[in-house]
Homo-oligomer: A and B are copies of this chain.
Amino acid sequence: MLLGKVTGSVWGAKQAENLAGYRIAAVRPLVFSGAAEFREDVDERFLSDTLVLAVDRIGADTGELVLVAIGSRVRDLVAGEDCPTKNCVIAIVDKAVIGM
């Protein structure tokens, strides 16, 4: 499970059955660069260069902080058993407090 900022979206052309209809969010994980309290506005220096892709059934907007979980069970619970990926947005974050 990771905490990250939604920074974009991906659209498929030719794709596996069952992927149609899912919004694919691109998420940059937070890294630690000193104590901070986050709501929505996350400074660039707190964001990793890595991109994690996840299906989003919750409706997170670009710029929002989210929790992304990775696993079969979460996929079944959140996106359905036939979804061909197990990376899922499970929460839009209201507040994150990271200390030293």
Binding site for B on A (CB under 8 A): 1-3, 7-19, 24, 26, 28-33, 44, 47-54, 58-59, 62-63, 67, 69, 71-75, 77-78, 81-82, 84-88, 90-100
Contacts and interface: CB of A to CB of B under 8 A. Distances in A.
20 contacts: A1-B53, A1-B87, A7-B99, A8-B99, A10-B93, A12-B67, A12-B91, A13-B92, A15-B90, A15-B92, A26-B98, A31-B49, A32-B47, A71-B72, A71-B86, A73-B86, A77-B82, A77-B84, A84-B90, A85-B90
B31 A51 contact: yes
Given A10-B96, A33-B49, A44-B100, A90 B54 contact: no
